[in-house]
Each structure stands twice: as C-alpha cells, then as structure tokens.
A and B are shown apart, each in its own frame.
Chain A
Amino acid sequence: MIVSRVATSTSERLQATFTRPVRLAVGGAGSLLVVAGCLLPWATFFFGFPGKVTLAGFPGGSRLYPLLLVAVAPLLLVAVEGRRRAGLAAAWGVFGITAFNIAAIGFGRDLPLGLLEERGGGGLGAVAIGAWLALAGGALLIAAFASLPSSDEERPFRPGLPAALELLTIALSLGLILFAVVIALEVDETSRFISLIAFATAAGMTLARLNVFAYVTELFDRHRTVTLAAAAIAAVVFPFTQGGNAYWIRVFASIGVFAAAAIGLNVVVGLAGLLDLGYIAFFGVGAYVGALFAGAARTTVHVKLPFLVVVVMGAVIAAIFGVIIGAPTLRLRGDYLAIVTLGFGEIFRILAFNFDWLTRGPNGISGVPDLAIGSYNFGATNEVLGFSLPGFANYYFVELILLAAIILAFTRLNDSRIGRAWIAIREDETAAAAMGINTYRLKMLAFGIGAFMAGAAGTVNAHVTTQVSPDSYGFLESILLLAAVVLGGMGTIGGALLGSAALFIVPEKLRSFQDKRLLLFGIALIVIIRFRPEGIVANRRRKAELHDADPSTGDASGAPPGAPVVGAVAQ
C-alpha cells in the first residue's frame, strides 16, 4: 500500500536522523507542550456582553484526555516490548483529540455530517493558545515515538505478581471498567463523548500493544470464579445506584437482551463458522410468541400463559424454525449459506407484515402488560433496603438471569465434545467429516441452539419493549447483531457483551448521530478489522489465526470456511 510505504520511509528517515538525545529532547518538549497546553484555555468566545471571554476551564474533560495520554512519555526512556507502537497509539490519540476539539470549537455545527449540534461557529479565531500548544506537543510526540527502532519484538507481559496482588489487579481492572462506563454514561455533550471514545481507543490500543490486556485477560481467566462473582455483584448492584431513575436500567436491560441474542449468534458464527445473515428472524419469532401469549392489549391471541412457559415456548418455536430453515440450507457452504439465510430473514419480516390474522401486520402486537407473580407486580416501584428501585429494575433482573443462563450454556458448550466438533467444522469441514463428525447434524444443532437462545431472548424483549412489530426484525438488525459479534470479538462472551453495549450506548449518547449510526458502525468496523481483526476481546484461536502467519506452516491450513463446494474435496 502506498500510504504505508510513505509512512515507513518517513519513520525510517526519522530513525536515521533522531539520535537518542534528539529523540528525548523532542519527546520531552512535546510532553511539556501538551501539559502546558492542557492547563491553558482552549476556547475563546464572543458574547454580546461582556465581549470576548476566554474560558479557562473549557472544555473540561476533553483537555483531561491528552493529559492522561502523555503518561506514555516515559516509554521513550525505557526499553519495553512494543513501546514504539504503543507510544504511537497514545501520541496519535493526543493529536487526534486535540485536532477534533479545535475543529469542534472553531466550527461546531458546521462540521460535515452534522457531527455536532452544539457550540462553535467562531472559526479558528475562537481557538485559544492552549489547544494549539497541545496540538504541536502531540505532533512532536508522534515524531519522537516514530523515531524509535521498529524492531520491537512481541513478548508477553508477565509481571509475575503474588496471588494477592493479582486479585487486586483484577479488582482494579473491574473497577476501572465500571468507572469508565459511569463516566461514559455521565458525559452528555457530543464533542466530549467523541473525545472520550477517542481517548478510550488510544488508551486501549496503547495497553493492548504493551500486552497489558493479554495479561489482564489471562488473570481473569485464571481467577475465573473471583472475576465472575465480582462481575455478577456489579451487575446486581447497578440498579441500586440509579437513585430510582429507570433510564439507564432500561438501556442496560435492552443491552442484555441484545447480548443474549448475540451470544446465540456467536454459537452459529463464532463456533460453527456458519455465516447467518437472517438470524434476527429467530429473535423476532421469540418476540412474537412472547407478546402473543402475554395477554397484550392489542393482540390476536387472547391467551395468557405463565411467563416461564412462554419463554420456553418462544425458544422452542424459534429452534423449530431454525431447524426448518437449516434443513435445506446447511448443505450449502460459505457464501451460499449467507445468501440463503439472508433471504429467509426477509421472508420472516414479510410474513409478519402480511399475516394480519396473527401478527396484526404493520401495527404489530402492543400493550404487553407487566409481568406479575402472584400479587407481585413487576411494573411497581420497590423499596429495597432503603433504596428505591424503579419498576423496570425487575425486568433488568429477569434479563440478567437470562443472560447468565445463556453465558453458562455458551461456555459449557464451547468447552465440550460438541463445541470441539463445531470448531473442527469451522476449521475444515471436510477433515471434520473424515474424523467421524456428522457435519450436517452438528451444523443443524448449532443452528437450532442459536435459534433457541435468540427465541428466549426475544420473549424477554417483548416485555422490555412492551410491543412487537415487523420492522424491528429486518436485515439491518441482523447486521447490527453480527457487527456486535465481530466488533467485540468472535467466539468470546466478553466480545458479545462489549459489542452489544457499544451498539446501544454510542447511539444513545450521540443523539445527533442517531440517523447516522450505520455510518458510524461501518467506520468502526473498518477500523477494527484493519487494526484488530480478532475484535476488541480477542479469542486465543482467532488471534493466532489472524496474526501469526508462520510461513513454515502456511501449507498446512485446510480449506477456509468459505471455500467453494468444488475443490473442497480431499486431495
């Protein structure tokens, strides 16, 4: 690629001209400029009265991020693995965040795509000295890091801490994640939120390139019980921290339901390697079953069954649909399967539109009533231990139980005879068959289980959204679900959770962005696939597959999952 060749030659020139003292001087100057710049004001505003005002503390958060990223500067001094790439990520983060804020302060609303609704309009004249200093500092840092030798070999980060410190690291990491989520939820200004995302990306890439992530993931893995317990506690405590406000509880309940479906899709795509582009239809089947048998206000089936029965029913009916659709399609491979499942997904939506006698067509089923166990109404507000819980918290807990069950099922299946057979099929279907695996039956099983999970999630979703209509289950939703899986990391639980959360929180935050969220995800996907193809949360296998192209074993790989039918026969 031309771009990378230019970049390489530039950094080669830098490496040739920057001796160590020069590099340290440039890096030190850059760091000082960034620090000074972040402490000085960034914006000057022109008001009618009292005239020109330079806002000292403005914009608060956005100036904090470059300041935090400058913490990588010591990497210029110490030789650790991957420091060049890590430092560059942080330096580009400083530069990018500052540049974006300069654009936002100067032009705001006038930015392309209607990026910002707020502020701006004063032109570059409104940008104060601090921002320019920070921008220059960022550029110097980029140059300093680019001049480091690029032969940094990858080596795992293993501090070898005692067990107690390892647990502390886990606690701190989880705390940090929670803190980041809380901060992200509290930021309500678009430009600050974008700065925050840019910061998280830069900081994340820096840590990943120093192999810190791999280490923390390994810690989580090794102390699974502790991590799981802590995560579970955090999830249960969350509604109590909302002071009776249902907004974010509602968002997280939606995320949970979406994540449950994403994990189901992960069985199909991540484990068995079957690209299903119509998966949302199973979620839709579950949602319709959930709404139809809940005794909704505007419905066609006037039967009300107990909630648990409906969940199982929705899951089973979705699984039956899965098997019906799978039976003819699973004999196909790769691209063909994707196209046919895409077609089936559309068929579901069109049927839901036209079977008025059952689905009430475009009107859908609405007015799904609150659940009730005995005299306990799920819609009511509760006082628990002196905390006020909004009614919606009940659904949040239902969703939490569903999610926990699906996560447990996924992990157990993944690490079992069945899961190994799925992965073998994904790796090389012909060889799997030759090893005695009934590939057709196992693919069907993956399809059915994926559909079962989606169906169960769908029935819960009918209660979360209280209404069901055909438009919620189109191609777009299938793609979003797939994006959540790919973005987060295929074949991992953490990836599905993170991907789902990102797909919900980001549009929720970027209100002005909502009709452009597809564009945003498109860009995010391209960036992720370019820089981290295994997704944010890497699966050990995917990572190996995508990153270490060992030439000595190059001829050993089997047919890729998407290999055409002809030529897939053993040689």
Chain B
Amino acid sequence: MSVSASSAPTAATPPVLEARGVTKVFGGLTAVDGVDLEVGEREIVGLIGPNGAGKTTFFNCLTGMETPTSGRISYRGRTLSGKPHRVTESGLARTFQNIRLFPNMTALENVLVGRHCRTSQGVLSALGRGPRYRREEADGRARAHELLQFVGMDRHAETLARNLPYGDQRRLEIARALATDPGLLLLDEPTAGMNPQETASAMQLVRRIREQGLAIVVIEHDMRFIFSLCDRVAVLVQGQKLVEGTATEVQQDPRVVEAYLGKPVDGG
C-alpha cells in the first residue's frame, strides 16, 4: 500500500519544507526566535531541546495554529497560508503532544475525519446518496481500514477512541494524520508515555512511513529514539536553533551538552 501520492522529486525541486526566520512572541516572551529549518524529500529530522524551548510552538507556527510574529514558511516551494485547514490541504499533517483524538468517535471514524480534506461530497450528495457519494464513502472506508492496518490496529476499528489504550491512541493519531495524504508529517513526542516495546514499534512505524515517501519532523525527548532514527537533528534552546547536524555531530557538540546539563560550574 502507499501512504502518500507525492510525486518523485525532479532535479531542482524545492525542499519539502522551508522555514525562514520563524519567530513567535507571546507578550514579553519570545517562544520561537528566528528559526530556520529545511526538510528534504524522505528525510527524518529530529527536533530536540529542553522543556519550554519552543518546539511545540514551532510546530504550531508551521501548521497555522499560531500565526508567527514574523518569518516565512513554504511547502514544496509554495508559501503556506495561515489557516490550519489550508495547511493540511497543502500536505502538512501533525499529531499532538497531548493526544487530541475525537474521543467519542470510533477509531475508524477518527481516520475518516482525516479523509475530509481529500473528499468532496457535500450536503446535497449526502442527502441524495447517489452512486458517486457511495463510491467515495466506500473508498474512504477502505482507505481508513488500510491505514488502521498500517499502524497495526484494524481490530480496534469500532472502538471509541476514548476507550483505546494509550499506545493505541498515539498510533491512531498517526493513522488519522496519514489519512490527510500528507507529504510531511510532524510528530510531537510520539513515544511520550510509552513503554520500551511500544517505543520500539513506534520507531519501526516512523521508518515505514518514510519508506512510503513521506518526510518527517519529529519532536522527542527520548534521545535513543532520535539518534537512531533521524538523518538530521536540530536543537532548539530558548526559542533559538542552537545546533543542527547529523546525530553524531549534535551528540558531540559541547553547546548541546551544556544546554541540557546547564553551564559547567566555574573552575570546576
């Protein structure tokens, strides 16, 4: 099965994501401060940083949930409009740090909601239930089942999202995001609260998503997850991008160690 319908890159294709000088100020607090980030085709980019560094706020700026104070964001060369649903239509999809499923809808319905922006049947065709409506509905359901299978939870299709175990809720959020046919998937702490086995299978899942042709940006506090998965890692500290490079480069950078462990004690 294929998760994305994105076309193969040609010679001079623009990067999947290009963020330039993204800044977000809340009152007196600069949560995101002039961050640049580029993501290429089929790349997995890790975004790390201490609590409150501005990682989630950066995601919110990318997806239009917050309007950046300044900066420019483009997806495959096209500047993104500020509205969240437009951003999703363009091809960005995300999950949330504190899971935001539709708790009283079944797993299948959650995924079907993700199909909303790729389907077009309106009120009249829902009332009329003509052949086109039925075909689209059937296709949507087939696709949703396929995606549930892809994340390994098709047997829970009819379970209300609120009744799913925690790990499944995280996976369902990913399936729902994939249902929007994205070219770039933004994952905000996808393994938070998971046990080691679940984390391992989440890592597998992210790899399989990349194999489908998607680019991924992932926020994580689990360093093993980040360093074994990501092609490139960017470190955000107090809203600013401190370092960016391969896993090894970032791991060896003294500034990163300092940012995570605090300044070395004078004379120590």
Using a CB–CB cutoff of 8 Å, the interface residues on chain A facing chain B are 408-409, 412-413, 416-421, 423-424, 427-428, 430-439, 445, 449, 541-542, 544-545, 548, 550, 552-553, 555-559, 569-571
Contact = CB atoms under 8 A, between A and B. Distances in A.
Contacts of B196: none
B242 interface: no
Report, as a range, how many residues of chain B touch the other chain: 35 or more
A419 B97 contact: no
Contact of B163 (A416, A428, A432, A550): A550
27 contacts: A409-B127, A412-B127, A416-B126, A417-B112, A417-B121, A417-B136, A418-B121, A418-B122, A420-B113, A427-B104, A431-B101, A433-B84, A434-B100, A435-B114, A435-B177, A436-B85, A438-B83, A541-B104, A544-B162, A545-B104, A556-B161, A557-B162, A558-B100, A559-B100, A569-B65, A570-B63, A571-B98
Interface string B134-178: 001100100000000000000000001111111001000000110
Interface string B64-99: 011000000000000000011100110001101111
Contacts of A437: 85, 113, 116-117
B113 A432 contact: yes
A52 B48 CA distance: 92
Given A417-B126, A437-B116, A557 B103 contact: yes
A431 B118 CA distance: 17
Nearest to B180: A436
A569 B180 CA distance: 21
Given A435-B179, A570-B97, 10 more contacts: A416-B133, A416-B137, A418-B126, A421-B113, A424-B116, A428-B100, A431-B102, A433-B84, A570-B65, A571-B56
Contacts of B123: 413, 418, 445, 449
B127 A413 contact: yes
B105 A424 contact: yes
B126 A434 contact: no
B85 A570 contact: no
Q: Which 4 A-B pairs have the closest CB atoms?
A: A436-B117, A436-B88, A416-B126, A427-B102
A460 B97 CA distance: 51
B85 A439 contact: yes
B60 interface: yes
Contacts of A438: 83, 85
Given A420-B113, A434-B84, A558 B126 contact: no
B174 to A, nearest CB: 13
A368 to B, nearest CB: 30
Residue among A423, A555, A558 with most chain B CB within 10 A: A558
Given A417-B121, A553-B169, A569 B60 contact: yes
B5 to A, nearest CB: 15
Contact of B169 (A419, A430, A542, A556): A556
Given A434-B94, A556-B166, A571-B98, A417 B116 contact: yes
B129 interface: yes
